[in-house]
Each structure stands twice: as structure tokens, then as C-alpha cells.
Amino acid sequence: MNHRRFLVPLLGLACLLTLLLVCFGPALFRGEQFAYRDAGHFYYPLYKVVQEEWDAGRVPLWNPWENGGMPLLGQPTSAVLYPGKLLYAGVPYAWGARLYTIAHVLLALGAMFALMRHWQVSRTGSLLASLGYGFGVPVLFQYCNIIFLVGAAWMPLGLLAVDRLVRLRMRRAIVELAAVLTMQTLGGDPQATYVTGLIAAGYALAIVGAARRSPNDGDRPRSSRWLVWSLVAIGGLIAWVGLTLVAGIWLPELRPRPTQTQPMPVFPWTPFASKLVLGGWAVAAVLIAVVWKRSPKGRARMGMLALLLGSAALAGLLAAAQLLPSSEFNSLSSRVAREGSHEIYAFSVEPYRLAELLWPNVFGMSFGVESTWMYLLPPGGSQKVWVPSHYLGGPVLVLALTAFGFRGRTPGRGLMSAVALLGVLAGLGMYTSPLWFARFVPGLAEQIGPHDPAMTGPVRLDGMLRDGDGSFYWFLAVVLPGFDGFRYPAKFMTFAALGIAGLSGFGWDRLVGGRTRRVVVTAAVALVATIVAGAALAVGSERFVAWIASDQMATQGGTFGPIQPEAARFETARALGHAAVVMTLMLVIAPLAARRPKLGAALMLLTLTADLIVANSRFVLTVPQEMLDVENTPRVLDLIAEAEAEQPTEGPYRIHRMPVWSPLNWTVTSDPNRVRELVRWERDTIQPKYGLLSGVEYTHTEGTAELYDMMFFFAPFQRRLRPEAARMLNDEAGKEIVVFPRRGFDLWNTRYFVVPMVSADWVSEFRSYAAFLPETTTIDPDREAFAALPIEEQNRITLENDVQILRNEAAYPRAWIVHELKVLTPITGLDREARLGVMNEILHPGPGDPFWSNPDLNVFDPRRLAWVEPDDPSVLQGFATGGPPGMGERVEVIAHEPQRVELRATLERPGLVVLADTFYPGWQLTIDGEPAPIIRTNRMMRGAAVPSGTHELVYTYEPDSFRLGLLGSTIGLVLALVLLGWSFLRPTLRLGTADQGEREDAGPEFG
């Protein structure tokens, strides 16, 4: 037996284990937990709620702890039905959270290895691709946002199924592709599902188009083809830039300017845009079908696309139990509203960050001592970082660059090149728009407007086009139906990582096949560029440090403190030195690999492993498990419990914690342990969703999507300070500050406000708590004790703790009775104008409020009057008896469970019982055991018409969307099993292309 054949696999396994131990050792062996960013305050509490529902014997359908209640299954981020959640079964939840993350990193590695081996890439090439993909930052760092790690883990298997279906025509691949799309959807990443489908369609067209080129095509000189394509590309680029600039000048003239009631100006045709896109696709499909039907190749294209659509339809059926509730929720959310807050360009990747593919962490590091100087570059501090680096390993980059291309008969190389290119172009987001570059030219900026201001919404308030309009990502959002519902262009860098890592496997095989020149030249160029950059840094080192130290952005600081100039210089120098060592090793290994492949493979694997450990293991951040344990009660909840013991609240209550702020002293200090400090502070102050671990009911939290109507109750707005309000705040009259609609929080049973101590001049929506000051009692800190402290101690507490708890004395109970009704015509659609009148009536507090009083608006009392929108107004006859509630009338909340709410109401005369829980499809009501209608009340609350006397009201959540979806998933599972059985009887498909057998081993030739 030749034992040397096992050398590479064993070494690859050793490299994998080493990377696992280094990256995940603290979680596996030191009892620590992934808890930075969304891993801590979002997914850890959310998934615990999901698991507790399963443990209680309930399907996790409803989340009563946030926003007055909202769907749990209907939010894809909950991943309620994802089979991978079985990893949580039978182990403590903390271990389930660890294993779930690590298992998906391993799945990403294994899936990439399987894909590369499917394309007959060598074991070494497959291992290099797998390690670069799984331990590259774009995938590895997604432990912070686990749904995207799940999507990334299944991506390679999706491409494998696509290739089996499209190129090899394997029947079972229909089910395989459907299974992958289902897993991505159920795992919480429908965008990965969508893009995988797009890639499949493009690959199918390329494969069929490459089959049996005509003799004339083969005889045409390559130089002439390149000339034609070059001219077409240059002409298209000029036309694209010119048209975008013209649109930037002309289109704003057609857009109405903002008004008092229309703060977000939109184009008149915006409501019809989606319909036009769908109509355009329908017309195009008919025309293409007519043309394709006339040729064998066209019919083959139609047949292949039909198979892909069939696979997608099967995936839709399999995931129907998730898709139907999600579609129901999204149809009512701000994401699909005409004037919602959905932002498609956030987290675009700045072009200069592509340097991170070669120089790991070249722009510095956060997560301790702040050394990230990228914020000093354009666009001037408004960067939003999705992942802190894009490094996949130096060997991966070099080998990928040498393999990039769209010609040749190597299966998969053209596909991976296309995926890499698509991922980079889409990942750059707004920065591929000519407008963004043109606005650096003063003359052009005068005509097309300046760059987007900081915190710009979906539409600029000055009516000008956004920086990203006209970009490649904008094109995708406009042309592809539903694509504009997704967020964050930076997520496409995961696809780029997939393509680049896959190309590195092909690059290795080309290297050991004797093509060393391109590898050596590429590594040499990278080394020279690194040396030049290092020399420039060395020569200008002092200027570099002085530039950082003098910049206002650097001295202001953020969560991790001000930028440390010396640390920034060190990290940049370290990145360049790291790259220089790796590129030097590449120059040594490349020629050796061609002569002695086994030795070269061993050295390359060891180099990549060491490279990834040094560069990327720093990004896996954990904290001690006890910081997240339920037994470790947050400090804020301890203080609220003490306040409740002294003055109990009758019935359940909600807490509003302002969402995003951190102690101000962090902005001026650095701490290597800031991540742990951050998690401890966020947990102690119950930043959403940490409070879910302790059963907190939040009034308002922000996530991936919220119900559109709920934002009217809680969205901030600006008001000018009147003299009496200015005196309350010790500020100047006439100043514009940020104000929240206080009555909205009162109505929704908000008993406590958790807010900052520092107001930031009342101009930040994250710190301006002015509206929460009237009719509240300070629970902590004790005002008298605090005032007695020396000024220095007061300042220290304010800067270090920066949190206070206010008890709302004006909070409404969870349920109450009214006898006056204002019957409205039900509002349909998601239009702002249709809601403004009724919402102003509900929320306007009147002249007694120091911050919001408009003499043009009437004043109503929601304790006496309810705004109702019944489907059948006759059900309310006899229940609008008028007058205030009687002294003996009351409502008691008997039970408040996730999918069941029980009330006991005593009424002296017929009236409406208002429950401050969300009105939503699927809720059923019985009164004394008899079915009764739920009446939409106060726009988003539940109302029940109840006769006089004492009655039991029981609300239960039984959504038809889940019931129908479950039926669809069952049908899909049966169809999948039938198709699998059919595939064993007839393994391959025939679509009428006579030359398919000749090209089974070939990949598409683009161009």
C-alpha cells in the first residue's frame, strides 16, 4: 500500500483541526460563548425563545415580548422550522448555540470540498478552496449573524446541484437543488436562495449557449472577437455613465419637494414601478419564448429554465410552512411600504477595501484598542462595516487570480469566475454608481447635488438622486422583482468569497500541471506592491500618525474609543509585513509544486493554515458564558423589581429601552477588554433583545422588519422648543430637538423607560429622551442622593454608567374599557397619507404636553374613545353607549401566554374591551366560549364588543398561513420523494440537445 497517498488528506485534516482549535477553542474548551454584535443581543435570546417554545410543546408561532406582539414563525431570522435546529435538542442551550455555529462552519468547508471534488479538482486544490472559504472572514465572521452563515454554508451545495442539473442533466438534482434552496430559506437567508436561483438561471443559459458553436464562430479569429467585445464594453460604459449623469440632473426636477405631511419625496410613478417591472418581465418572457421555440438550442434553453423553475417551485412547497407566514408578515411591514424606512445601499463595500484581499487588516482593528483608520477616508466617516475584513488567505488570492477566466473546457471555472465577479460588483453597492464619483467634481456636484448626507433615508429630502442610483446594485434592485426588499450589498461579498475560494482550487491544479509562470508573476507583483506600500509607510510614518491624530473623526472616538495613531500604524505595518512573508513563500512554493507536487501541497496547506490563523482567528470573539446565563439577572431588572415591590403594577407591563447608545466615557478611553465590557453593559441595561432571556416585554424594538403601522406610534420627529419646554430641559427656546410621540408609548402599556443620562443636546434619536420626562418618576439613580454627590462624582457616574430608569405614571393598563367609538372605513394598503389623520387624533396629546401641541389638531382621550375599523359595522350596534367607564368596570389579565391571552372583563353596560396587543391575522376570539369577531382598534390593537356583566375573553393564535403552509410542505415532501424515486429509474434528462454527450466534461465558454 502506498501510504504517501494519504499524506495530503491527513495533513488537510490536521490543518482543519488546528484552525478549529485556534478559532473556536475558547467556546469548545473554556466555556465561552459567541456574543458580539447580533450573536449576543439578537440571536442568542431569540433562538432561546424559539427553543423554549418547542420545549413547552408548542410550535413557535408568536412572539409576545416585542412590539405589542409579532409573528415568530413569520420572521425568517427566527429559523423556527430549520432542520439544523435539531442540534439544540438534547443539549443545554448554551452548548446548542456553540455547536450550531461551529457545525455550519464545518458544513461550509465540507460543502466546498464536495463541490470542488465534483469538478474533479485535486484533493489539495479542494482543501485550499475549503479552508479559504470556511475560515475566510466573509464566512467566518458571520457567526455574528448566524442566518448568513447558514446561507453561506449551503451555497456550495447549491452550485453542485445546479451543475448536476444543468450540465450533467441528472434528474435527482432537481430535488437536490430544491433541498438546498429550502434549507437556505428555512435557515433565515432567503436572499441566498434568490441569488442561488439567479446563478442557476445564468449558468443554464451559458451552458446551452456554449453547446456546439457554429463553424463560423470557431473560425473567427480570437483577436477580432476581443476587439468586438472591447468596443461593445467601452461603448456600454460611456452610455451608462452619460445616462446616469443626465438622470442625476433631469429626474430631480420631476420629483415633488418634501412637505409637512410628505417628508419623503417620491417619484409620481413609484407605486407603479413594481407592476411595470413584472409586466416587462412577462412581455419579455413571451417574446423570448416565441424566438427560442424556433431553434433546437432555444427549445433546450426553455426546457432547462423550466426544470429550474420546477426545482424552485418544489423548494417553495417544501418551505411553504415558513414562506406563507413570512409573506403575510412582509406584506404588512415597512419593507414593502411606499415610504418605509428600508435602505438598500447600507453597508456597501468601499472600493479601497478590496485591498484587504491582499493585506489582512490593513486599515486597522477594532474589538479592543481602536486602530481602524478607514473612517478617515471617503465617504468621511459614514462607512458601515458588515465584516471587518475580506481576507481569504494570500495563497487563495494568488491562485484564484491565475485561474480567473471564462474560456476553456474546465467544468466550473467559468461559473466560479462569474460568481466572484458578480459578488464583488454587487458587494460594492453604491460605489459602482457614476454619481458617487462625479460628486467629487465641484462643477458636476452643483448640478447633480452633493454626496448623500449622513443618516440619509431611502429618499433624499432635497429630492436629488441617491449616491447609489445608477450602480450595479441599483440595476439589480430595479430589474429583478422583489430584489429591492433585501438589505446590505456587503452580503454579496460572501458570494465573492465563494467564487474566489473556488478559483483557487483550479489555480492549484493549473500550477501543479506546469503553469507556474502566472502564479510566480502574480505573487511577484503582489510582493512588489506590498514592498512599495511598506516603503511608503516607512517614509511617511510620522506624517501618517500625525494625519490620524489631527483628524476630528479620530479624536471623537466611538464604542472602542478614539483611534490610536500608533496602533493604526502598527496594524498597517503588520498587514504589509504579513503579506510580504506570504507572497515570498508563494514565490518559493510555486516552482517547487510543479516539480514535487506532494511537497508543494504540504507546504501550501501549512502556509495557508498559518496565514489564516494569524490573520483571521482574531475575529472570533467570545465572552464568558456566565455573562449570558439567565441566573445572572441584569442590573436594570433588579432595580425595576425593587420598584415593583414598593409600588406593584396591576397586570403585565412593558419596558421601553432606547435601542442604541453606550457610555460616553468609552469614546475617550481604550480598553483591550471592551468587547466583554460592551456585552456586560448591554445585558445589564437590557438592550434588545437581551431582556428576552429574562421574560421582558419590550414596547418597541427594531429588527430586520417591523409592521408598518407600528412605526407611527413610536417613530421620532423634530419639534422646536417652546419656552416652557426649554426651561424644563435647561436649553434655549426655538431649538429643534428630537421628540418621540409619548402617548404612543403610554397607550402600549409602557411602565418603565430605560434611557441614557446624557441627552446629547436632545438632537440624537438614540439619546433624546425629552418626551419621556413628563409624568415619570426616576427610579435610578436616586435624584436626591445623586445631587448630593460632588460634581466630579456626578460626572463620573454620568459618563461611566450613562443609564437611568424612569417609571411612567401615565402608562395605560394592558386592557381597558371604552363606551365611545369612532367608526372608520378600514384602511387598506401601506400609504402614509391614509393614516396621518387618524394617527394624529390618537397620538396628539393636546396643549398640556410641553413638546407637541398643535392648535389645528383636535384632542381626544383614548381612555374614553376608541377608533375602530370593523369589517362589518353592524357588529358594534348597541355597544357605543357613550360616557366614561363606570367605577365598577374593570379588565383583569388572567393569562398572557405566547399564543393565548385570557381576560376577565366586568362591564356595567355594553362596551368595547381594548387589549393593547397587536392586531394581526390569525388571532381568534371567544367570549364565554362562543366565537366573536376581533375588531381592529386604535389602528393596531385588538378590540372586543362585550355586553354588560362579567365575561371571559380568550384570544388564541391559530394562523391560516401556517396551516396552509404546512399542507404545502407536506405535498412538497411527497413530490420530492416521488421525484427521487423517478430519478433512480431514469437517472438523466434529455432535452433534445444532440451534442450534450460530447460536452459532459466541458464548462461554458463565455465570450
CB 578 within 8 A of CB 360: yes
Give the residue with greater pLDDT, 1 vs 311. 311
Q: Which neighbouring-strand residues pair with 754?
A: 657, 805
pLDDT of 216 > 70? The answer is no
Is 69 a residue whose pLDDT tops 90?
yes
Task: Judge whether residue 997 has pLDDT over 50.
Answer: no
The region of weakest confidence among 303-312, 407-416, 423-432, 496-505 is 407-416
Say what the pLDDT of residue 223 is.
61
Q: What is the pLDDT of residue 411?
A: 82
| Partner residues linked to 655 by β-bridges | 698, 752
Of 216 and 625, the structure prediction assigns the larger pLDDT to: 625
Angle in degrees, 0-180, between the axes of helices 93-118 and 7-29, rounded to the nearest 10: 160
pLDDT at 1001: 46
Task: Give the pLDDT score at 268.
Answer: 46
Whole-number pLDDT of residue 809 = 96
C-alpha distances in angstroms, 270 versus 13, 469, 623?
54, 14, 47
Residues 6+ apart with CB under 8 A from 390: 136, 137, 138, 349, 353, 354, 356, 357, 493, 496, 497
Q: Is the pLDDT of residue 264 over 70?
A: no
Instruction: Please report, rounded to a whole number, the percentage of residues in the chain having pLDDT higher than 90.
Output: 67
- How is residue 596 annotated by DSSP? -
Q: What integer pLDDT is reported at residue 483 of this predicted model?
A: 86
- Kindly report, residue by residue over 852-878, the tens digit of the pLDDT: 988 888 899 999 999 999 999 999 999
**pLDDT of 994 strictly over 60:** no
Residues 82-97 have pLDDT tens digits of 999 999 998 999 999 9
Alpha-carbon gap, residue 479 to 483, rounded angstroms: 8
The number of C-alpha atoms within 13 Å of 200 and in the hemisphere containing its C-beta is 34
| Grid cell digits, residue 804 | 437611568
Q: Give the per-residue pLDDT at 30.
A: 93
Distances from the Cα of 268 to the Cα of 166, 272, 725, angstroms: 42, 9, 39
pLDDT at 433: 94
Model pLDDT for residues 345-369, shown as the tens digit of each residue: 889 999 999 999 999 999 999 887 8
Give 1000's pLDDT tier (boundaries 50, 70, 90). Answer: very low
- pLDDT given at position 265: 44
pLDDT at 17: 96
Instruction: Give pLDDT, residue 222.
Output: 57
Q: Is the pLDDT of residue 140 over 60?
A: yes
**Preceding omega of 781 cis (within 30 degrees of 0):** yes
- pLDDT, one tens digit per residue, over 779-806 is 999 888 888 889 988 888 888 889 999 9
**Pairing, β 62-63 against β 70-71:** antiparallel
Q: How confident is the model at residue 256 (pLDDT cuts 50, 70, 90)?
A: low
Predicted local confidence at residue 488, as pLDDT: 87
User: Does the pLDDT value for residue 99 go beyond 70?
Assistant: yes
What's the confidence (pLDDT) of residue 5? 67
pLDDT tens-digit profile of 435-490? 999 999 998 888 998 988 876 777 777 778 889 999 999 999 888 888 887 888 99
- Of 253-262, 581-590, 735-744, 786-795, the range with the lowest mean pLDDT is 253-262
Q: What integer is the mean pLDDT of 508-519? A: 93
State yes or no: pLDDT of 599 exceeds 50.
Answer: yes
Task: Please give the residue that has the higher pLDDT: either 147 or 453.
Answer: 147
| pLDDT value for 270 | 52
Residue 260 above 80 pLDDT? Answer: no
Pull the grid cell for residue 758: 446624557
Average pLDDT of 807-820?
97
Sequence-distant (6+) residues with CB within 8 A of 788 are none
Residue pLDDT, tens place only, 273-292? 566 667 777 787 788 778 87
Calculate the dihedral angle through the C-alpha atoms of 660, 665, 666, 667, rounding to the nearest 10 degrees.
90
* Mean pLDDT of all residues belonging to the chain: 89
**C-alpha cell at position 735:** 431649538
pLDDT tens digits for range 881-924: 999 999 999 999 999 999 999 999 999 999 999 999 999 999 99
| Cβ 651 vs Cβ 814: under 8 Å | yes
Strands 935-937 and 900-907: unpaired
Confidence label for 342 from pLDDT (cuts 50, 70 and 90): low
Query: Looking at residue 275, what is its pLDDT?
Result: 64
Print burial letters for 417-426: b (CB count within 10 Å at least 16), e (below 16).
Answer: bbbbbbbbbb
Confidence of residue 752 (pLDDT cuts 50, 70, 90): very high
If pLDDT is split at 50, 70 and 90, which confidence band does 991 have? Answer: low
Is pLDDT larger for residue 550 or for residue 501?
Answer: 501
- Mean pLDDT, to the nearest integer, of 176-181? 96
Predicted pLDDT of residue 1005:
38
Q: What is the pLDDT of residue 996?
A: 43
What pLDDT was estimated at residue 274? Answer: 61
State residue 314's pLDDT score: 96
Compute the average pLDDT of residues 574-599.
Answer: 94
pLDDT in tens, 933-983: 999 999 999 999 999 999 999 999 999 999 999 999 999 999 999 999 888
